[in-house]
Amino acid sequence: MMRQYELVEKVLSYDPDADENLLNRAYVYGYKKHGTQKRASGDPYFSHPIEVAAILADLKLDATVVATGLLHDTIEDTDATREEIDKMFGPDIGSLVEGLTKISELKLISRETAQSENLRKLFFAISKDIRVLLVKLADRLHNMRTIMHVKPEKRMRIAQETMDIYAPLAGRMGIHFFREELEDNCFAVLNPEARETIIKRLKEMHAEEKYLLHDIAEILNRKLKQANIKARVYGREKRPYSIFRKMERQSISLETISDIYAFRIITKTEDDCYRALGLIHTEWPMVPERFKDFISIPKSNDYRSVHTTIIGPTRKRIELQIRTEEMEEVNEFGIASHALYKDQSYINNPQTSQIPGDETNGSDQNANGELNPGSVPLSEKTSAFKWLRHVIDSLEDGDTPEEYLEHTKLELFADQAFCFTPKGRLIALPKHATPIDFAYAVHTDIGNTCVGCKINGVTAPLRSKLNNGDEVEIATSKASKPQPIWESFVMTGKAKSAIRRASREERRRQYSRLGQEMLTRIFKKIKVEFTEEKLIAALPKLAFKNMQDVYVAIARNEIKLRDVAVAMVPLLLENHADKFNHQTHFEIGASNATSPMPVRGATEDVGVIRFSKKHPPIAGERIVGILKPGDGMVIYPIHSEELEAYHAHPELWIDMVWDIDENENQWFTAPIEITLLNEIGALASVSSVIAEQNCNIWNTFIISREVDYYHLYLEVEVRNIQHFNQMKNSLQTLSIVSEIKRVAGKKYGEIG
């Protein structure tokens, strides 16, 4: 266990002005409070806070953070209180210790829910002070260093949580030595056999290539010195987990990995980085497609370096990473590096300098809308902080704990692809992200109104996968809204949250609209005036906050129309008792005296008002809605065979009318079957006619084939019933078409 004076001397070695008295008082206080407590290993419990403080000192953090490491478990595990910490060490340290305590104190039945809630609390605490994250990661690192003393079942759970959350979070914050050690410790717990196999093979490779690293470093140093480039060169070896992950991801053997050994060239200036790169590429051939310039385009965790792979002096592939001393520090220590941490704008005023998003204060901008020199806070200088702001913003999206955990993991594990807006703004996205992800990354409103895109100037589907360097232009329409199907192929948590939120809002809007229609119609049926004032007055009796909540509850069958109506007009039940039988909830559609309910259109993914999957209606034809208890309303074309099942229940019917704007870009699916002559080019002729009529083939199958004919099933997208009839008439003019008819929608498994 590190002694008191050793810790103090360690801090003073890099910060001679550190508050030595604060460190001594925190050490003594923590030692006394933890007293005789023991860890699972049998060591005194206080050995853990000391090691956490030592890790923070390794990061060269200030005395306040190191003292917090000494005290971080006092409120949670001893009789210490926030008030006592504030009194003895100040409210700054008290706030940090309390923030760390709140992360751990929640206990829930569901492990996944508990993990999610703790993650939420962690990000909330980080949003108030980033130093909470540094102490928490140091705490988790020491726990993983001593994990073998924990019971096996608990050990596996902690290791998996660390691998899922804390290791990638450290990577996202740019603290690579934290991430690598956390991953390797987890690897030893979760897959010890694979780790031992890799370590054994690495030892064999060391014996075979004993002098390789030294010889290559000498050659590189000599060449750089001859070119008058001041730099130092050293070699490094991949950790076992990094090797395992690459083998697994690329399905390759250990022998085929070219970057087990990598060399870092550390220069004085950025200009020297590119001079060194030019020298190396002149001396030795580079491996195509293995060059990456992260100085020009940094990673989302602020990592900056030039990477290249060459066929080196020993005729082996050698990976080189070229960077400056400052880049080296930021790359290893991330947000904890001196280069970033020395910016006191965040540390000295955490309450007023909370991690901001893309927006900036008007007072920090000049007449051109640019940030004034010196006014840019630490979080605006670093992509890692911007990513944190994005994750913290998603806390307000109203996701369930499970959804939030899923989306945050997506963000944590995402490899990067860099794309550009037409104006040159760089957007960092996960690999395989889509234009929809891009749109939401630019701004939530852009994503919500996205209707199309161009990739590198060419119109492309919204499902397209984006690649590094793509220029993406998003087309928007104020009349558009997110489609639920988007959630199945977008990659970012932000996009998924926004789409899911929009779907919830749309369902609520439709429930509200349907409930309002049901309530107003029942009042018309009993010939009593309906007014919103009556409903507002009845809200306390109904125990609802607003009218929309009442409408939603009616549509969801959570409250009876009878109860709402009686709450609005107390004498209603006495005067109209015969009207309020057990079917009252569904009687609204039986009267022909009421006007039809308007509908703009819906998708099968929306569970409130939706189109029939089997007989989807087309705008312009007569439609009817069928109320289904607990399942909202389904809209059918009047000719649908499915309506026969409801002939005996006219109380379930609601007349509907289309409310479609001619300028609105909305499409409807029309399933058809065509009987064609079995001739060469027949299918091509049908496709050409459909295209000429500006229709789109969404799906097609051959149902059956005969000697002279074959039967084709098509799902064609049209704008309205007139558009459909025009397309159908054009097809019937083809001599190869024997018959064409509109049919029920089919699935692949139903055909053949």
The mean predicted confidence, pLDDT, of the chain is 79
The tokens 């569904």 sit on which residue?
586
The pLDDT of residue 571 is 65
The pLDDT of residue 19 is 93
Q: Which of 19, 77, 651, 655 does the annotation list as catalytic?
A: 77
pLDDT band at 217 (very low <50, low <70, confident <90, very high): confident
The answer to whether residue 76 is catalytic is yes
Q: How many Å apart are CA 422 and CA 474, to the nearest integer?
A: 9
Does residue 183 register a pLDDT over 90? Answer: yes
Q: Among 163-172, 438-447, 623-632, 730-739, where is mean pLDDT lowest?
A: 623-632
pLDDT band at 596 (very low <50, low <70, confident <90, very high): low
Mean pLDDT of 194-213: 80
Contact in structure between 44 and 2 (CB atoms under 8 Å): no
The tokens 């093979």 sit on which residue?
201
Neighbouring residues of 337: CB distance < 8 A, sequence distance ≥ 6: 174, 329, 330
Q: Kindly state the percentage of the chain with pLDDT values over 90.
A: 26
Report which DSSP code applies to 166: I
552-587 confidence digits (pLDDT tens): 888 777 787 778 888 888 766 555 555 554 333 333
105-129 confidence digits (pLDDT tens): 444 334 555 556 666 667 766 767 7
The pLDDT of residue 455 is 92
pLDDT band at 366 (very low <50, low <70, confident <90, very high): very low
Question: Strand pairing of 261-267 and 317-324?
Answer: parallel
Q: Which two tokens stand for residue 266?
A: 């550390």
84-100 confidence digits (pLDDT tens): 999 999 999 998 888 88
Percentages helix, strand, coil for the chain (3-state, rounded to 5) are: 50, 15, 35
Does residue 627 register a pLDDT over 60? Answer: yes
Q: Which of 43, 76, 332, 471 does the annotation list as catalytic?
A: 76
Neighbouring residues of 715: CB distance < 8 A, sequence distance ≥ 6: 669, 670, 671, 672, 697, 698, 699, 700, 745
The answer to whether residue 77 is catalytic is yes
Contact in structure between 134 and 65 (CB atoms under 8 Å): yes
The pLDDT of residue 189 is 93
Question: Which strand (E) or helix (H) includes residue 533?
Answer: helix 532-542
φ, ψ (nearest 5 deg) of residue 261: -105, 130
392-406 confidence digits (pLDDT tens): 665 555 455 555 555
Domains of the chain plus CATH, in order, are 4-190 (1.10.3210.10), 195-336 (3.30.460.10), 385-481 (3.10.20.30), 501-658 (no CATH), 668-750 (3.30.70.260)
Contact in structure between 564 and 624 (CB atoms under 8 Å): no
Q: Which two tokens stand for residue 216?
A: 């290559």
Q: Which two tokens stand for residue 201?
A: 């093979």
Classify burial at 75, counting beta carbons within 10 Å of its beta carbon; exposed 0-12, middle 13-18, buried 19 or more. buried
